[in-house]
Amino acid sequence: MRTRFYNAKILTMKDGEEIIDGEIFVKDDHIQYVGPHKHEPSDFDRQINVNGNLLMPGFKNAHTHSAMVFLRSLADDLPLGSWLNDAVFPREAKLTKEDIYHLSKVAILEYLTSGITAVFEMYLTPDSIADAFGEMGMRCVQTGGLNDFSQSVEQMEDWYLRLNKKDEFNSFIPGFHAEYTCSEALLMDVAALAHKYEAPVWCHNSETKSEVESCKQKHDGLTPTQYLDSLGIFDYGGGGYHCVYLSDEDVEIFKKRKMGIVTNPASNAKLASGMLDVTPFLEAGIEMGIGTDGPASNNCLDMFREMFLTEAYAKIRQSNAAALDAAKVLHMATVGGARVMNLKDCDILAEGKKADIIMIDLKKPNMQLVNNILKNLVYAGSKDNVKMTMINGVIKYSDGEFYVGEDIEKIYEKAQEITDRLK
């Protein structure tokens, strides 16, 4: 299958490359050509006139819990402890793998409307999650949600071995929920697994002040990052989600271990966890991505809102409107996310890369008048501007229509049945 996109503005996200006018050729799952308009034989199966709109790499939602759509607007306006222990955990205990399979599909539809072409998923039943993403043609990197009450290191090893070979859409990286939900014995087993396969490890890290203080009290003044590193968990890299309260020593560990950070600004704000200024980490050379977190702590799986908040928090924390350039935030939402997720072929638009491409409608009022398209994406862009989402060379969403091989209303109906049962 060969597809030609022409009459396009193209943002490749290559370092130092400006937006160009040109075209993109896609063959099967990869990009054949990106550049100025060229005259070639018309041996394309499909030719799409982009009409001057923008083609760019898809966004990477680098931290989420997709199936938590069943808690959307059901567990709101609570402090983090009550939110987890009183609203979330009791309902999650009733979930089946089939429930999670069906609920994940609702989130996938929302990802597509937001121009998200890959997610970094952490939830309870990786096999059924992988089935949902694979069937709908959505790219998914999973990590373990291991803790003292759910999953096991043996299961995680099995997922690591099988899901990395499952299909072209799924992969798996070892991980656990957080320091405060795991015993030291369990964490030592995680470290042993990481060493066995020389694998990176991901987890929630330093999301709240109380989490950090509790860890220091339990472990002779060590922060979560310092404590986990002392166990050898990060010897082969990995990273942390949230990371709102990292110390200078923590940052040095992230640099030394070549670890990544994923910020989740909307979720951290809604749960009053804090506002992360990402600029010190970027200046330290730490790779960063952006995530929505799950639809219970955020409610909205929208990367445009996350980009704006990432930008705004840096300015507020530094009392400096020039603290962070919008181009760096857009890099985090696309290239940075791909790198922390180990999606090396999905970061930029270039020959040989995977055809994970989105089209942004520049004719909407919020994209007019045209001064700086890149900055406008971060400061004024919205999900309404996403005209098309292509993953692996296949258009999955276009102009309000989904092409996922399933009846959308039936997806909603099944998910609502599950949600009503769990209330």
Instruction: Summarize pLDDT for 389-406 with one digit per residue, the tens.
Output: 999 999 999 999 999 999
Q: What is the spatial distance between Cα 267 and Cα 114, in angstroms, rounded to a whole number?
A: 17
Assess contact for 204 and 178: CB atoms under 8 A.
yes
Q: Residue 296: pLDDT above 90?
A: yes
Assess contact for 323 and 24: CB atoms under 8 A.
no
Q: What is the per-residue pLDDT for 236?
A: 98
Kindly list the domain boundaries of the chain, sorted by start residue: 2-57+346-402
Q: Which of 38-52, 62-76, 369-383 has the lowest mean pLDDT?
A: 38-52
Q: What is the spatial distance between Cα 7 and Cα 36, in angstroms, rounded to a whole number?
A: 10
Supply φ then ψ for residue 30, to 5 degrees.
-135, 165
Q: What is the spatial distance between Cα 225 and Cα 262, in angstroms, rounded to a whole number?
A: 14
Q: Residue 79: pLDDT above 80?
A: no
Q: How many CA atoms lie within 13 A of 3 on its CB side?
A: 17
Q: Which of 47, 68, 60, 185 is nearest to 123 (CA)?
A: 68
Per-residue pLDDT band for 42 (boundaries 50, 70, 90) equals confident
Supply φ then ψ for residue 126, to 5 degrees.
-55, -35
> What pairs with residue 169 in β-bridges?
none
Provide the sign of the torsion angle of the four alpha carbons 285, 286, 292, 298, taken in this order: negative
Q: Residue 78: pLDDT above 90?
A: no
Q: What is the per-residue pLDDT for 286?
A: 98
Q: What is the per-residue pLDDT for 85?
A: 87
Q: What is the per-residue pLDDT for 21?
A: 97
Q: What is the CATH number of domain 2-57+346-402?
A: 2.30.40.10
